[in-house]
Amino acid sequence: GAVVSQHPSRVICKSGTSVKIECRSLDFQATTMFWYRQFPKQSLMLMATSNEGSKATYEQGVEKDKFLINHASLTLSTLTVTSAHPEDSSFYICSARGFSTAAQETQYFGPGTRLLVL
């Protein structure tokens, strides 16, 4: 099946610094990528949807100036958490929408990035 990678898998940073997380679709072109956030034992929370070459669409309550999303190519999207604070500590998961081997559109998830802000 299709593969989505994320880097880094884990990051620890000091409060006030910025952190960039990369999401790549490895063997398919993803015109749409999604960024989710997940707190322990809770469900996925969609943060934003990004389409290649255009501005991301943020869900209500998500600060677009704090969570910068860039979808520069059909295989790469980045999420930058600016001026991170301890409450931003979470599990961030990207997802890419593409076509399966059976030519059916589906959505593939990355392995996630665990962010800890001290």
Partner 1 sequence: QKEVEQDPGPLSVPEGAIVSLNCTYSNSAFQYFMWYRQYSRKGPELLMYTYSSGNKEDGRFTAQVDKSSKYISLFIRDSQPSDSATYLCAMVGNQFYFGTGTSLTVIP
Farthest-apart Cα atoms in the chain, separation:
45
- How many other C-beta atoms are found inside a 10 Å radius of the C-beta of residue 53? 10
Does position 100 interact with partner 1 (CB under 8 A)? The reply is yes
| Least distance between partner 1 and beta carbon 46 (Å) | 8
Does position 65 interact with partner 1 (CB under 8 A)? The reply is no
Cα–Cα distance measured from residue 70 to residue 49, given in angstroms and rounded to the nearest whole number: 10
**Single residue of 35, 110, 115, 117 touching partner 1 by CB under 8 A:** 110
Does position 66 interact with partner 1 (CB under 8 A)? The reply is no
**Single residue of 19, 33, 81, 93 touching partner 1 by CB under 8 A:** 93
| Least distance between partner 1 and beta carbon 41 (Å) | 8
Does position 77 interact with partner 1 (CB under 8 A)? The reply is no
Strands (DSSP E) contained in the chain are 4-7, 10-13, 19-25, 32-38, 45-51, 57-58, 67-73, 76-81, 90-99, 105-109, 113-117
8 A C-beta contact, residue 7 and residue 21:
yes
Q: Which stretch binds partner 1 (CB under 8 A): 13-21, 60-68, 74-82, 90-98?
A: 90-98
Residues lying near partner 1 in the complex (CB under 8 A) are found at 1, 4, 6, 41, 43-44, 91, 93, 95, 97, 100, 104-112, 114
